[in-house]
Amino acid sequence: MEYYNYIKALHLIFVITWFAGLFYIPRLFIYHIEASEKASPEKEILSKQLKLMSKRLWFIITWPSAILATVFAIWLLLLMPSWLAQGWMHVKLAFVVLLFAYHLRTHQIYKQLQRDDIRYTSRFMRIWNEGATLILFAVIFLVVLKSAFNWIYGLVGILVLAVLLMLGIRLYKRIRDKNPEA
């Protein structure tokens, strides 16, 4: 138990870097999709650079962070097995499963874009980018509030956040349509 705080600190550091990767990779996808609509040679130059940036982010930061965050999380659960009997931990682990599903789907999109197989619009990717944000909010509130968390208020709060994020995306699109340089 004397190492508990070190393990917890490492878990949190890698959760933060994992989310940093999950927040930034869809932005690179957006730029890649938008670059594919440009004329040559700009299209090829941007595509090559964005593929390289995505590859480095994904395999040097995001994947290792996901793995290390998981290793330290399992270690924490082995040190504190009583957490597995608590309801908030069951809900948190469900969100972690959802996070891994999001991560794996993002990996599929990454592989498609590496082949220049563009299947999504930049608008879709802006919405996709908010998935990690919603999961992060849910997990943080669960961990901080634990059993004191009021599920109805929490659910309403997540839904309100999702609506606000969607409205922000629409507002940005309007601004961008009026001023393409924005």
CA-CA-CA-CA dihedral for 156, 137, 96, 56, to nearest 10:
140
Residue 90 annotated as binding?
no
Rounded Cα–Cα distance for residues 95 and 85 (Å): 17
CB atoms within 10 A of CB 114: 15
Instruction: Kindly list the distances between the CA atom of residue 140 and the CA atoms of 37, 49, 108, in Å, as whole numbers in the listed order.
Output: 38, 34, 27
Residue 55 annotated as binding?
no
Query: What region does 179 belong to: left with phi over 0, alpha with psi -120 to 50, or beta?
Result: beta
Query: What region does 166 belong to: left with phi over 0, alpha with psi -120 to 50, or beta?
Result: alpha
- Asked whether 79 and 86 are in contact (CB, 8 A), the reply is no
Residues annotated in a binding site for heme: 11, 92
- Residues at the annotated binding site? 11, 92
